[in-house]
A and B are shown apart, each in its own frame.
Chain A
């Protein structure tokens, strides 16, 4: 008779064998006193360990309360995952007004015009009292210098958003503006 090795018997006892192996070892153990006794020896260790745990002292009833109090003191909030950070706080250019009914052909034109205005206004000295062509409902998400580029995003609630990247031009007094227009659908929950 070929006995399964002890590791295989252990795996059988722990129900870690695949179906074919399990069936083979089961047949053997059924007819082999030696192996059946070894398996029973394993069971005894398990039962003794379980009884030990049953008698183990429990945590105090106020464990969770104490833990939550410690969390309050030491860890006010879970560490955030590496979520993309906004470029800067949202700064309304004007008091936000309710967006007009969607007229999709209007907003692309307004967005392009606004982007152009921003680009031009960066290139030219601003004039006090100059009229803005940015729509009343537009929201400017502030600019930030990153590697020499100035990034500005303008959101038009209910319509579109566009990002303007202003890069130093070839001439010292010039600026190259790149405008990236996004449909509202692409922005998800951006406001």
Chain B
């Protein structure tokens, strides 16, 4: 049996996106880290060109995470800029063992959550998982079909639907979906970026995905297969 990643590469439609294909290989990640470390060292000594290069290398990802969490273009741009300002002021605090991306993501996530809190001070952001699971399925939803239903859907419609799904998720679920599904971070990296235990990452990711599955079905209707009630599948013999 091949890995899930390999499974999806075969027979894939040209415009399909492999969930892990954007994840760099270990060698590439190590090389990137070395480049980042070099730039950080130079920037910390006052080399503005090095800092500019660092910004150019990471701004798209930082902005994607910010946009995924705050869901507003202007707010995302503000958060991204503030995040790099904070990075600059604390270049000397960066510990080389961690990846710069993870450090940057942590800053972006914190600033994004802060901004949402400022905008909606009355809204409780840290909901109990049990509360927000009301109405959500209790298991992963299976898809049985010969073809990915998303392939036949208009791109614009998918985008709009995903946007609506994300709008309905609490910020910490949006954050985890974006970090994992969009940025391809490992559980360990997500835990570091969100400053929660790895077990919490797994649990939140699980709940967020289930909710996304349900919301996608509700929004896209028959074109996305109906969640099936597998009462016979309880993880038991």
Contact = CB atoms under 8 A, between A and B. Distances in A.
Interface stretch (A50-58, A109-117, A142-150): A50-58
A47 B17 contact: yes
A75 B89 contact: yes
Interface stretch (A6-14, A124-132, A175-183): A6-14
B20 interface: yes
B216 to A, nearest CB: 6
A57 B73 contact: yes
Interface in B200-215: 202-203, 205-206, 209, 212-213
A67 B216 contact: no
Q: How large is the interface on B (under 10, 10 to 19, 20 to 34, 35 or more residues)?
A: 35 or more
Interface string B133-151: 0000001111111001110
A4 B236 CA distance: 9
A14 B201 CA distance: 12
Interface in B84-108: 84-85, 88-93
Binding site of A, secondary structure by majority: helix, strand, loop or mixed?
helix
Interface in B1-27: 1-5, 8, 16-17, 19-20, 22
Interface of B: 1-5, 8, 16-17, 19-20, 22, 43-44, 46, 48, 51-52, 55-56, 59-60, 63-64, 67-68, 73, 77, 80-81, 84-85, 88-93, 139-145, 148-150, 155-156, 158-159, 161-163, 166, 177-178, 180-182, 186-187, 202-203, 205-206, 209, 212-213, 216, 224, 228, 230, 233, 235-237
